[in-house]
Amino acid sequence: MLSLLLVGCLTPLPFGNPTSSTSSPNSSTSPVSPSTSVTPPPAFESSSQPSLETSDQGSTATPSALPSQLEPKEVAQGTPGKNRIALTFDAGAGRGYIDQILETLVRNKVPATFFVTGAWAEDNPEDVKRISQLGFRIGNHTQTHPYLTGLSDEEIRNEFHSLEQKVVELTGRSTRPLFRPPYGDRDERVLEIAASEGYWSIYWTIDSLDWQEGHDPQWVKERILSRLEDGAIILCHIASPYTYLVLDELIQSIREMGFTFVPIEEFLK
């Protein structure tokens, strides 16, 4: 029986098919050599561009080399006591509002992690390169965004490999060890396979539900703030028509509550 490690959580989260708290389905160029030089768009060209916020020597850079095979682990929350928050965005359903989100994050010096699918990377290669060039981490959200528990071992590995290959070709940087299961659908077998491929599952503490229809920007903002706690991992989506509109307000409110934004790697130590 797999001994599952949850950072900052006393009770393991439920495995299997998602409930109403999990993220929504995604609807959904040729590779570019990692050595290809790409000029960032005007919004990010300033030589005085501020560095991203870090904590405890944290960095948005790729972590130091890890073993190719890890012990299975899922991170759903950082260890409390340091007033840290990690912001994450899933990218799979269209280009969304990536321009506005990146501009807001850079202007506010906030680190974030983007979990992208292979289909999204294929449709938006320049955005993948830009995310990396700006210092943000990219995580593996699989190639096709399937329910992983319904796939064979080989199919799961192929989902990891296909996305990883695309991101490395575009950015020269690996997505390891960051993986987010589509729909939150995972079990012990999925986490064991992920670990054997060098990945840990990055779940979430707060699902903003910004993918659901019928809400508005303020509703999403208040949902996040009302559930905020030390060590929270916040799940948002770049395709949401709500989040980008209140992202600046959300960042300011979280800081006013005494929290610091840190790269997700801070929660892996």
Catalytic residue (choose from 90, 127, 185, 207): 90
Contact 114, 133 (CB under 8 A): no
Catalytic residue (choose from 127, 145, 210, 237): 237
Size of the chain in residues: 269
Question: 48: Cβ–Cβ under 8 A, 6 or more apart, which residues?
Answer: none
Clarify whether 56 is annotated catalytic.
Answer: no
The DSSP output letter for 241 is T
Q: Residue 75 in 3-state DSSP? A: strand
Contact 233, 84 (CB under 8 A): no
Clarify whether 90 is annotated catalytic.
Answer: yes
Alpha carbon of residue 192 to chain centroid: 20
Contact 230, 80 (CB under 8 A): yes
Angle at 149 between CA 223 and CA 268, to 5 degrees: 55
- Helices 98-107/243-256 angle, 10° precision: 20
**Residue type (1 letter), 80:** P
Residues assigned a catalytic role: 90, 237
